[in-house]
Chain A
Amino acid sequence: MEFSVKQSDMVRELNLSQGVVEKKTTIPILSNVLIESGDGMIHLTATDLELGVRCSCPARIIKAGSCTLPARRLLDYIRLLPDAEVNFKVMDNQWANIVCGRSRSRIAGMSRESYPELPAMPPSLGEIPAAILSAMIQKTIFSISSEESRFTLNGAQLLMTDKALTMVATDGHRLALVEHKVANPGVEGVYKTLLPKKAMQELLKLASDADEGAAFLFSGDDNHLFFQLGERLLLSRKLTGNFPDFDRVLPKTQTHQVHFGKDEMKTTIQRVSQFSEERSRAIRLQFADGEMKVFSSMSDTGESEETIAIDYSGPATDIGFNAQYLLDFLGASAEGAFSFLFNEAQSAGEMRPAAVRDGDKKGGEVGYTYRYVVMPMRI
């Protein structure tokens, strides 16, 4: 096999494979990237058997063929080359000679025979605009459980209907749900699946590089999910198991609703939570007539409080929360305002974004649904 590529093209595409190649070398060939010649291009494939990435870059094919080369070393080296033509020549013994200008290197590869075959993408089920998918992931990914034994919570549930796309993630302490109107007339009923966290991180990377208005083609087979963006394909093994029935968990009615400016609340919590216990990060929101006090104290070492004027006339209520959980929402929410809904100190609180209209925090519709439910803490 022999081909030439532009250094910058190769670096850009190899970058995408780095998040996927196996870090622990239990199966040595999974540390390699598979390179196959195509029509005026080469295809690059990387997988750790859970995730797979396939991408391409234009190349001048001198002799067709395929090979696998160590992904990490290859990128580290190519990145340092000048932006010029890089020539690859793979010998029968699987060694590759790489020549660029006056730099010549040899790198040991492995035969592609033992490289796992990735499943082919079935016909597409629908399209998801890259910007929307990316926004949905950013609004939910922090709620995914890091507890490995609860593997159905190690990803987000994705629900697709002909009209809408919904993503839900929870770790038992908070739950984030986002729903966007996305028309996919081909979908019958509800297509439900569990998307692993690692796939979501890779999708964010792919989407960040996408052109404006670009959309993922989406499909799934029995075991895998496929997302294709132009020439790039990400596939992921599905998480199996039952995601909890989140409808049961979403609060049906909330007695009180209070409106806040996002940045005001965010900086307040950031300041006050400097004085929260490191382990629990507990702060208290104390609602009273016309104001809310954010309060936190560490036994014997310090305390802090700050007051925000609010439009509230309900009963005095003192609710404990993990400051980080609240900050996660405030960091992910795009709008300038949000509303906080609650019943009493023992039941879950909820945050929803709101658009600021003419300086009014009550604002209005944001054009999509984002609900963030947080369990209170006992303090």
Chain B
Amino acid sequence: MKTIFHIDMDAFFVSVEELLDPTLKGKPVIVGGKGTERGVVSAASYEARKYGIHSAMPLRTAQQLCPHAIFLDGHMHLYKEYSDKVEAVLRTFSPLVDMASIDEAYMDMTGCERLFGPPLQAAHRLHQAITDKTGLNSSIGISTSRLVSKIASDQAKRNGILWILPGTEANWLAPLEVKRIPGVGKVTEKQLATIGIKRIGDLAQLDEKFLMDRFGKLGLALSGKAHGKDAGGWFDTEIGSNDDPKSISHEHTFNEDTSDFTTLRATLVRLCEKVMKRLRDHGLHARTTQLKLRFEGFETITRAKSLADPTDIDRDIVDAILQLFESNYPKGRKVRLLGVHVGQFTTTTPQPNLLTGQDDHKWRSALKAADKLKDKFGQDTLHLGGALKGIYKDRVHEAAPKDPIRKPKQ
């Protein structure tokens, strides 16, 4: 039987902002951008949540609900820094840590009793250590599965710890609403409601086969989850197993749709730069790249290209993306969103090139230095020349996948 912790930082972005500016405490604070801008809420303080504001809500809606809220752009590199600090604390407790996103993590604490005591005591120590090292509040859920631990940490909020004793999972889950189950969104909730299922307990009563017939694979996962088991999707994977991304992408929605060629090009360069930085953080090389263009009116096209050799150098992706852009963008058409995506990763360093070998070497050294600076002083410390006219404010999301603390390269 396993002992799994789920650690979830309380209102993470807002709490970091409060550390920087204590006067924000106790006020409705919204991170994500100005209330008049396009885009969505990345994080909201508990005071703002009282007005019905939640993450992923359009900023303009949030503004209507709570006109006196304080809107902040956010400081992504600081959040990452704090997230790294939290991760470092977690790793002193267990080697099996899975940062599910920038503000939450799963830990496998099985067999750590002799070091840190029984689960509840270990959790108290961990909770205290996080507060000591970062000044931030967190909530911890403990159980024998990732799923129950995640639901438990949610129920433990704010700043609490909740241990679901082994054997009591199903009973504890029974009275909770089905939407508490990760993976059950508005649509599934509605579908379940039509057959009279409101509570997790109702769901647990149902026959596995019935759910399977009605919802397919999702149904099978639902049945397992209702009994407190890790089932379906990423819940099936082991904590600490290698889960390098399959692809990396960045997108940018313009505040105003634009057809300005210079801005579009520069924004693409900026997106490439961000994608490639993350690629290098993972120690990977990409073989394919893809451009995403969304026009005014939401018509969206994607165009992909395979590279001759896998690469981790900005130049190669920028060249490919700009080529795709120039041959697919109908000049004058207004663009709402641009996206850059890289995929088909390899971990091996590409074969040296006869023609570009010397340049490649120079690029790699320069990018290595640039990456170090960005890690230390933030993403906006320095840019490719071509990106300078395309610097936009980063929109930040708590659910965004967390990048690894830089991996040592082989």
Contact = CB atoms under 8 A, between A and B. Distances in A.
Interface of A: 145, 147, 149-150, 170-175, 244, 249, 346, 348, 373, 375-378
A348 B355 CA distance: 11
B308 A378 contact: no
B362 to A, nearest CB: 15
Contact of B355 (A172, A346, A377): A172
A288 to B, nearest CB: 24
Contact of A175 (B351, B352, B354): B354
Given A147-B308, A149-B305, A249 B355 contact: yes
Contacts of B305: 149
Given A145-B308, A149-B305, A173 B320 contact: no
**Considering residues A149, A346, A348, A373, which has the most beta carbons from chain B within 10 angstroms of its beta carbon?**
A149
A375 B351 contact: yes
Contacts, number: 38
Closest 4 CB pairs of A and B: A147-B308, A172-B353, A172-B355, A244-B355
B349 interface: yes
B349 A172 contact: no
A173 B353 CA distance: 6
Contact of B323 (A149, A171, A173, A376): A149
**Considering residues B323, B351, B353, which has the most beta carbons from chain A within 10 angstroms of its beta carbon?**
B351
B323 A172 contact: no
B356 interface: yes
A377 B351 contact: yes
Interface string B299-312: 00000010011000
Interface of B: 305, 308-309, 319-320, 323, 348-349, 351-357
A221 B308 CA distance: 32
A375 B309 CA distance: 14
A376 B352 contact: yes
Nearest to B319: A149
Given A145-B308, A149-B320, A172-B308, A378 B351 contact: yes
Given A149-B320, A150-B308, A172-B308, 16 more contacts: A149-B305, A149-B319, A170-B354, A172-B355, A172-B356, A173-B351, A173-B354, A174-B354, A249-B354, A346-B352, A373-B354, A375-B351, A375-B352, A376-B352, A377-B351, A378-B348
Contacts of B354: 170, 172-175, 249, 348, 373, 375
Nearest to A250: B354
B41 to A, nearest CB: 41
A147 to B, nearest CB: 4
Contacts of A172: 308-309, 353-356
A373 B354 CA distance: 9
Nearest to A147: B308
Contact of B353 (A149, A346, A373, A375): A375
